[in-house]
Structure 1
Amino acid sequence: MNDVQVAVIYYSATGGVYAMAEAATKAAETAGAQVRLRKVHELAPAEAIASNEGWGAHAAATQNVLEAGLDDLEWADVLIFGTPTRFGLPSAQLKQFIDSAGPLWAEGKLINKVATSFTSTATSHGGQESTLLALNNTFYHWGAIIVAPGYADAIQFAAGNPYGASHISNNGTVPPGDTELASVAFQATRAVGVAAALKKGFAAA
C-alpha cells in the first residue's frame, strides 16, 4: 500500500486531538502509507492561549509541527481530519482551513479522495456525533468518499462511536486512553485499505 498518501490534518488546544492524530499517523504508516501530519493555523490570540496553562504548554510542545496547506489536500489520497468540538461543530481553526480549499474544490481536485474524521469533547454528550456529521457535509461537497470506522472491528464495540473515533477529555484533564487510540488507529488503517483498493480499481477501469 506504499502508493497511498495520507494527510492527517488536525487542530488541538490542549493535546487530546493531537495524541489521536499521532496514533492515526502511526497506524497509517504501519499500513504502508506515506503520511503527512499537519496542524492548522491557530486563530486564537496569544493572550488567550497564555491564560490556559494546558493550552500554552501544548502550543509550545508542538511548535515544530508543520502547518497544513492546500498542497497537502491536493497531494493526499486519504484525508483524516481531527478537531475538538465547539458547540457541536468543528473548531473555527479547522473550519477556516477547510474554507480555504475553494480553489481545489472548483478544479475538482478533491473528488474521490477518501475522507474520515475524529473528535474530542470536554464532556460526555458534548457534540461528538454532530461534529463528525458536520465535517461529512464538507466531504459531500468535495465529492470525497467517506469511510467511517463503523463497527468493522472489535475495538469499535468498546469505543462505541461508528461515526469516527472520539474522546471525552473532562475539560482537557484526561488524555485519550488505549481504547480511543486503538479506535482512531483502526479508523486510519481502514481508510488506507479502502484507498488502496480504490486506487487499484480506478487504475484497472
Structure 2
Amino acid sequence: MSKVKLAIVYYSAYGTNHAMAEAAAQAAEQAGAEVRLRKVRETAPADVVKSVPAWHDQAERTAHIPEAAPEDLVWANAFLFSAPTRFGTVASQLRAFIDTLGPAWQQGHLGNKAVSAMTSAQNTHGGQESTLNGLYTTFMHWGSIIVPPGYADPVIFASGGNPYGASATMGDVNDAVLASVRFQTRRLVEFAGKIAA
C-alpha cells in the first residue's frame, strides 16, 4: 500500500474542532499516514476575537499550529476538513480558505484524492448534516473521492448516528465522538492508500 499523506485542515473558534482534528491526526499516524495538521487563517477582526475570552484563549493555545496553505493540499494525497457549522453551512473562515484553492484545482492537484469532513454545532440539530453535505458538494467539484464514515461501524450510532461525518455538540468532544473521529480517519487513510496504490 502506498504511503498516505494526509492534510488535516480545520477551523476552531473555541476548541471543539481543534480537539477533533488532533484526535484525527493521532489516529492517522497510528494507521501509518504522514500527517500535516493545519488551521485556517482567522478572518474575524482581532479586536472581536479578543473581546470573547474563550475565542482569544483558543487562538493563543493554538498559535504554534501552522496555517493551511494550498501547497499542503498539493502535497497530500488525502484531505480531512473539520470546522463548525454557522447557520447551516461551514464557518466562513474555512470557506475563505477553500476559496483560495482555485489554482490548485485548475492544475489538477485536488482531483482523485480521498477526502472526508467533520463538524460541530451548538446543539444536536444545529446544521451538521447540511454543513457536511455542502462541503461534499465542493469536493465533488474538485473531483475528489468522498469517503464518509457511513454506517460502516457501530461507533457511528453511539456518537449520534451521523453517516456523513463525525460531529459534536460544541464543547462536548466525548469518548463516543472521539471513537467516531478515529474510525472515520482510519477509513479515510485505508481508502486513500487504495486510491494511491
Partner amino acid, structure 2, of 1:123: N
What TM-score does the superposition give when structure 2 sets the normalisation length? Answer: 0.97
- Report Cα offsets for 1:125-157 as digits up to 9, x if no partner: 100000000000110000000000011112012
Counting only pairs closer than 5 Å after superposition, residues 72-91 of structure 1 correspond to structure 2 as 72-91=72-91
Name the counterpart of 2:163.
Answer: 162
Query: Within 1, Cα distance between the matches of 2:172 and 2:127?
Result: 18
Amino acid aligned to 1:75: W
2:32 aligned residue: 32
1:180 to 162, 177, 180: 177
Question: Retained in 2: the 8 A contact 1:79–1:115?
Answer: yes
User: What's the CA shift for 1:51?
Assistant: 1.5
Query: Percent identity between the aligned chains?
Result: 52
Partner-residue secondary structure (3-state), 2:103: helix
**CA shift for structure 1 position 61:** 0.4
Counterpart-to-counterpart distance in 1, 2:105 and 2:124: 34
Q: 2:20 aligns to what?
A: 20
The one-letter code of the counterpart of 2:163 is: P
Give, in whole Å, the separation in 1 of the partners of 2:134 and 2:2: 31
Aligned partners of 1:190 and 1:9: how far apart in 2? Answer: 17
Check conservation: 1:2, 1:33, Cα contact below 8 A.
Answer: no
1:189 corresponds to? 186
Q: Where do 4+ consecutive residues of structure 1 move more than 6 Å?
A: none
Structure 1 alignment gaps of length 5 or more: 201-205
Pairs aligned (count): 196
Letter in 1 for 2:164: Y
Contact 1:149-1:164 at 8 Å conserved across structures: yes
State the distance in 2 between where 1:90 and 1:157 align.
23
1:2 and 1:142 map into 2 onto residues whose CA distance is 22
Q: Is there any run of 5+ residues in structure 2 with no aligned partner, and where?
A: none
- Equivalent-residue separation in structure 2 for 1:16 and 1:111 (angstroms): 29
Counterpart residue number, 1:99: 99
Deviations 1:23-64 (A, max 9, x none): 000000000000000000000111111111111111000001
